[in-house]
Structure 1
Amino acid sequence: VEARKIFDQNRTSLDISTWNMMITAYVQRGLMFEAHQVFDQMPVRDLVSWNTLFMGLKKNRDPETILRFFLEMRRSGLNPDELTLPAIIDAVSRSAFKVFVLQIHTL
C-alpha cells in the first residue's frame, strides 16, 4: 500500500523499469486487477511489461485475456520472445483456443 502511494505520487517521473517492478510485485502476489491497472496506465510498454502480465494471467488460468493481450501486443509492433510464447501456448492449449496455438507456432 505504501509503495503504491509513493508510486502514484511520482508517476510522471518514473522510468519503465519502475513501472515493470510494480506490475511484477502485483503479479507475484496474485493481484491481477491491480497489475492490470498499472499496466493500463503505463505511458510506454516493453516486452518485460507484456511478459510479466502474461505470466500472471497464465498463473490465473485466464486464456481469453492472454489471447486478447497477445493480439494487442502484436498490434503494438512488439514480437514475442522465448518467454512470451511458452506462456501463451501453455495457457491457450488448456482452453478451447487450441487452433490459436497452431497459429502462434508459425510465427
Structure 2
Amino acid sequence: MFFLFSAGYRKTVRRVEEGMFFCLRCEAECAYELRELHSEQHVFRVLPVHESSRMFVLCTGCGTAFDPECLDESSTAELAELEIEVPHFAYGNFAPRGSRSGRRSLSAHSDFRRH
C-alpha cells in the first residue's frame, strides 16, 4: 500500500488596526499598523500540529517593528526595550527604510532589482 505523508508550515500576517503614535525612532508622531504574525505547522495541510501568534506594531514612517507596549502612553520603556525583530515577509508590501539588522531596504534586496 502506498501512503504519502505531507507536512508543512504556513505563515500569515494580518493587519489588525491602524492609527497614530509617537515613534521613538523617528521621534515624531507617525502612522502605525498593528499586525498579527501567525504561524502554523500542519500535517496533510488540514490538521494543525502547532500554532503560535505574535502581535507587533509597524511604524509606517521608518519601518521599525515595536512591541505593542509602545502604544501604551504611560509606558516608560526605552527604544531598545520596545524594538523587536520580525521576519522580512511580515512587512508585507511595506518597504522598510535603512538596512539595520533584521530589516532590508529595497536596494539591498536582490529580488527588487529585477529588470
Q: Per residue, is there more strand in 1 or in 2?
A: 2
> Structure 1 length as normaliser, TM-score?
0.28
Q: Per residue, is there more helix in 1 or in 2?
A: 1
User: Greater Rg, structure 1 or structure 2?
Assistant: 2
> Structure 2 length as normaliser, TM-score?
0.27
